[in-house]
């Protein structure tokens, strides 16, 4: 893990996640009745819970809108959920105004072009391993794990490690 990523992670007060391709594997599943389902990784969920327990706020910004994501956010206790919002930078600015935070205090994990403006603006902008190549080129860092396969957990643990909270997060389960 680079010292640059750890240095960037020290200042983080808010971690934001994209959904499709980050918290999921990026596939969209539609049933005959038009309903949709997604699969989420429990490792990612636990990472988000540990991050919140350490005092870092969390948010989801997704270009798509689905009740499945609302349910997942509620299950994890993620307080800031924005769905159906294509211009993620506008949402970021709204959220920073509400929380009185600066760009440098935000970490973002994304995978595709709609995530790029936020990735480039925040203090710690990361891409999942299977993100679009152009997005990976412009991110501060790239997870080893693919979206939906533990990338969010890796991202959360990087922030916890940078802030000296990872061992305490693990010890809480001993």
Are 132 and 41 in contact by the 8 Å Cβ rule? The answer is no
Q: State how far the Cα of 87 lies from the Cα of 10, in Å rounded to an integer.
A: 27
33 is in an annotated binding site: no
112 is in an annotated binding site: no
Q: Buried b vs exposed e over 94-105: b needs ≥16 C-beta within 10 Å?
A: ebbeeeebeeeb
18 is in an annotated binding site: yes
Q: Are strands 29-30 and 36-37 parallel, antiparallel or unpaired?
A: antiparallel
Q: Are strands 14-17 and 106-110 parallel, antiparallel or unpaired?
A: parallel
Q: Annotated binding site for substrate: which residue ranges?
A: 20
**Residues annotated in a binding site for Mg(2+):** 18, 111
Residues that constitute the known binding site:
18, 20, 111
């Amino acid at each position: 893990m680079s010292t640059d990523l750890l240095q960037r992670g020290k200042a983080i007060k808010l971690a934001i996640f994209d959904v499709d391709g980050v918290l999921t594997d990026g596939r969209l599943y539609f049933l005959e009745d038009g309903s949709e389902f997604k699969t989420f990784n429990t490792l990612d969920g636990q990472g988000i819970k540990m991050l919140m327990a350490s005092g870092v706020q969390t948010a989801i910004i997704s270009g798509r809108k689905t009740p499945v994501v609302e349910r997942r956010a509620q299950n994890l206790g993620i307080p800031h959920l924005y769905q159906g919002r294509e211009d993620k930078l506008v949402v970021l600015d709204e959220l920073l105004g509400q929380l009185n935070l600066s760009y440098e205090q935000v970490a973002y994990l994304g995978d595709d072009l709609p995530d790029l403006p936020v990735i480039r603006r925040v203090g710690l902008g990361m891409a999942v391993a299977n993100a679009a190549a152009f997005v990976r080129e412009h991110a501060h860092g790239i997870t080893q794990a693919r979206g939906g396969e533990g990338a969010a957990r890796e991202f959360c643990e990087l922030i916890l490690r940078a802030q000296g909270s990872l061992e305490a997060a693990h010890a809480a389960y001993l």
